[in-house]
Amino acid sequence: MQSKRVVVLTGAGISAESGIRTFRDNDGLWEEHRIEDVATPEGWRENPQLVWNFYQARRRQMLEVEPNPAHFALAEFENALQYFTLITQNVDDLHERAGSSKVLHMHGNLKTLRCEQSGRSELRMSDEDLRPQFVKCTCCAEPSTLRPDIVWFGETPIHMREIYTALEECEVFIVIGSSGHVYPASGMVNIAKMIGARTILVNLEEPLNAYDFDEIHYGKAGELLPKLVQGWLNES
């Protein structure tokens, strides 16, 4: 697989073994909150404190978690390949901390906050940035409240042009830890399939879009991926 053009898409499942809750598993994040209330622009407008508390809790958790063997295996895979693109639906920074260099966060980042006046994002992870109180921007004459730098439902994912270009040229498309619920991420395997790429899934359980994959490896990414990456790199 060394010389192949490889695109990888990761979801919440790859961070599960690092202790970050997924969305739709039993103890998932959506158990306690309705998506509409905490992950939509309407929810932010109607009850900003509820949304802010939901994200502050997840931002604070970032300081306590570490990358797991799946993140490290992907960073090794990237280093060994000539053509590699990593797309993630995740908003944590575990891929970067494991050594992945170029990560396309299509749903945003927990570590940055965004000014709604200027659209600018800034890294805000100091102690006072992680309290229950709202955080003000540093870019406007009249500082305004910063929002989570997250793509909510109904908003347009980031890096889509770059993502579609990579998908349309790829020869191998690998999805790791995603339930296939959320579009456009869940539709990427169809694009890869249409252009004749080999499609591979590594997931704990059957996702909604399982039928689209040529190969499926069921199990924990942290356990399966190190061995799978070795096997892929040894393929001719």
Catalytic residue set: 107
The CB-nearest residue to ligand BV8 is 13
Which residues of this protein are in contact with ligand BV8, per CB under 6 A?
Answer: 11-13, 16-17, 22-25, 28, 39, 89, 91, 107, 150-157, 160, 177-179, 181-184, 203-205, 207, 220-221
Q: Which residue lies nearer to ligand BV8 by CB, 17 or 78?
A: 17
- Minimum separation from the CB atom of position 12 to ligand BV8 (A): 3
Q: Which residue lies nearer to ligand BV8 by CB, 16 or 62?
A: 16
Nearest 10 degrees: Cα torsion 121, 91, 72, 172: -100
Q: Which residue lies nearer to ligand BV8 by CB, 112 or 178?
A: 178
The Cβ of residue 169 has, within 10 Å, a number of other Cβ atoms equal to 13
Sequence-ordered list of residues with C-beta below 8 angstroms from that of 58, at least 6 positions apart, any chain? 20, 29, 91, 110
Sequence-ordered list of residues with C-beta below 8 angstroms from that of 132, at least 6 positions apart, any chain? 49, 52, 53, 56
- Minimum separation from the CB atom of position 147 to ligand BV8 (A): 12
Q: Which residue lies nearer to ligand BV8 by CB, 139 or 204?
A: 204
- Minimum separation from the CB atom of position 227 to ligand BV8 (A): 14
Tokens of 231: 């096997």
| Residue 108, strand partner residues | 150
Sign of the CA dihedral 138, 143, 149, 154? negative
- Minimum separation from the CB atom of position 91 to ligand BV8 (A): 5
